Structure 1
């Protein structure tokens, strides 16, 4: 088979016929008494991220304040964060008994 420039290329069916296939490799392994595949079993530990609970939020917010104060968060990443604290504070303001200190300060479980 020749291309436009006249270069000779091998017939694709002949070239593919020379490639080893999984079936031929398994046959060779069986003929030699070896296994074509080795089965290995082992336990793997996968870390699971536990969802935050309401009790985790105050600490998470305090942890977020430190890199914000130190400038370790890029300005481009602040656009998505900018409105969320305002929404939280507005929700707290709607619960005046919490913001005014009328309730004894304690942790609810």
Structure 2
């Protein structure tokens, strides 16, 4: 029996979160009105000093791309390490229902087999 390193466990978590954000991106693009919820979350977190200015700008920049579906998804689903960190504290809380989140996790698990 072997133990996975912290780096490997973090990479696995990042992959699950990325997969969930793919579902989030699709839902947001299909229902643009949901962007308002994310904008409110972003502003609230920034006002409460839960986000640094740089993170605020990155999230704001992805929201600005909502009219360009390919660019929106490319940025939100970027494999850059900074985006892995940002997605761990996503502003898109509450966008997916619990059933949709479970579906996303199930399809991720199925893709791992």
Q: Is TM > 0.5 for Structure 1 vs Structure 2?
A: no
- Return the structure number with greater helix share: 2
TM-score where L is the length of structure 2 = 0.26
**TM-score between the two structures when normalised by the length of structure 1:** 0.27
**Greater relative contact order: 1 or 2 (C-alpha under 8 angstroms, separation 6 or more)?**
2
Structure of greater Rg: 1
